[in-house]
Amino acid sequence: MRILIIHNHYQNPGGEDTVVAQEEYLLAETEHVALLTFRNRKGWPGVWQTLWSPWNIWAGQKVKRAIQRHRPDIIHIHNLHYAVGPIAIRVAKRKGIPVVMTLHNYRLLCPSATLFHNGTLFTDSIHAGFPWRAVRVGVHSHSRFKTFWLALTTWLHRKMGTWRMVDRYITLTDFAKQLFIDSSFGVPAEKYITKPNFTAADLKIPASMEQPRTDYFLFIGRLTQEKGINVLLEAFAGTNFRLHIVGDGPLRNEVLAATQQSPTLTYLGTLDRTAIAPLLASCTALIFPSTWYEGMPMTLLEAFAAGTPVIASDLGAMQSMVQDGHNGWLFMPGNASALREKAKQWLDTDATYRQLLGSGARQAYEQLYTAKRNQLLLTDIYRTVIEASLRSN
């Protein structure tokens, strides 16, 4: 099978880039894979990319040349935002090539991409014909113009039928799938399929994990409001619960101030995967207090791979991934008191129960999030779409 992957990099590297690299490497083990990448630019080149995003003829030419060069059986699109644009879909379909697109976020439903704005969920755009309220409040980059231009691009191609040309949309969770189905996006339910992300390596449980873990909780992630840092700090303030915090971001000073006031809080800064692995293997549970829907947090997958239970917000992707009482616990989103109570209850449970949920976490990983399972899911999606396309032609 000949596969062409199309992906646009943001100015700053992110999780989507990691997923694309992982999937490319994974598929190349058995298939012929080519990668066509674009990149968002800063300054005037970035303004130019933005203005042409509704119909970027230069990007369309690059896609056309890549098709001629690689002769793909299928095209898998990840991110189109700004430097490529929806023209890539139309070029592929004019060439008679089936298209699969992964929905890493909610940008096609709302210019915010996260359904989060000013510290709270922003869902007004989901059922709107045109997201005027999103434009008025500038949900994208705090800019009314950028928000309008992005909304206009999505709306125009909805009217032109571009989004319906995609043969299959891959959502990362069942929650995201249902959100798109119930929205005003206008794509039939049968075009969506759920395929989760996966971790790059199978993190085997070390023998040391068979012994009791330590009693500290662990947070890993960006130190931002939407990740629930404020909720986390408030929940652990004035308690004797031990918490290690890994990551960096705009709320770093708030975290440092909290650690100075409480000796049970430890800030470890930014750590690489090698340093994080032993922390996941020895903590009692991972805390994931995110206050937005999330796409598919890789941190949760790595926790499951390490056999680490997760205490997470009962919201969005976390609802799909964390089964309460099986591989972790859920608590009321944005509620510091609820999180504090869950942490207390967790420490009051016995080691046998915690180990049981750790086994459930590992089981979730083995059943859903391994590289091998992802490879089978991806190639099965491709073959199904290719066969359907051949029958229709």
Give the tokens for residue 128.
Answer: 């709107």
Q: Are 369 and 301 in contact (CB under 8 A)?
A: yes
**182 with 113, same domain?**
yes
pLDDT, one tens digit for every residue, the chain (393 residues): 999 999 999 887 778 998 999 999 999 999 999 999 999 999 998 889 989 999 999 999 999 999 999 999 999 999 999 899 999 999 999 999 999 999 999 999 999 999 999 999 999 999 999 999 999 999 999 999 999 999 999 999 999 999 999 999 999 999 999 999 999 999 999 999 999 999 865 555 444 444 458 999 999 999 999 999 999 999 999 999 999 999 999 999 999 999 999 999 999 999 998 899 999 999 999 999 999 999 999 999 999 999 999 999 999 999 999 999 999 999 999 999 999 999 999 999 999 999 999 999 999 999 999 999 999 999 999 999 999 999 987
**48 with 182, same domain?**
yes
Domain that holds residue 284: 207-368
The helix (run of H) or strand (run of E) holding residue 390 is helix 371-392
Q: Are 91 and 64 in contact (CB under 8 A)?
A: yes
**182 with 254, same domain?**
no
pTM, full prediction:
0.92
**17 with 158, same domain?**
yes
DSSP annotation of 265 reads E
Q: How far apart are CA 61 and CA 185, in angstroms?
A: 27
Q: How far apart are CA 387 and CA 98, in angstroms?
A: 10
**308 with 382, same domain?**
no
**250 with 288, same domain?**
yes
- 82 φ/ψ sector (left φ>0, alpha ψ -120 to 50, else beta): left
Q: How far apart are CA 234 and CA 231, in angstroms?
A: 5
Please report how the helices 273-282 and 298-305 are oriented relative to each other, as an axis angle in degrees rounded to 10: 60
In this structure, the number of other CB atoms found within 10 A of the CB of residue 274 comes to 7
DSSP annotation of 227 reads T
**119 with 33, same domain?**
yes
Task: Give the per-residue pLDDT at 202.
Answer: 53
Task: Give the per-residue pLDDT at 273.
Answer: 85
**141 with 279, same domain?**
no
Residue 380's CATH number: 3.40.50.2000
Tell me the β-bridge partners of 331: 313
Task: Give the per-residue pLDDT at 15.
Answer: 81
Q: Domain count of the chain? A: 2
**342 with 380, same domain?**
no
**33 with 177, same domain?**
yes
Q: Is 151 helix (H, G, I), strand (E, B) or coil?
A: helix
**94 with 146, same domain?**
yes
Give the strand pairing for 243-246 and 168-171.
unpaired
Task: Give the per-residue pLDDT at 210.
Answer: 47
**187 with 306, same domain?**
no
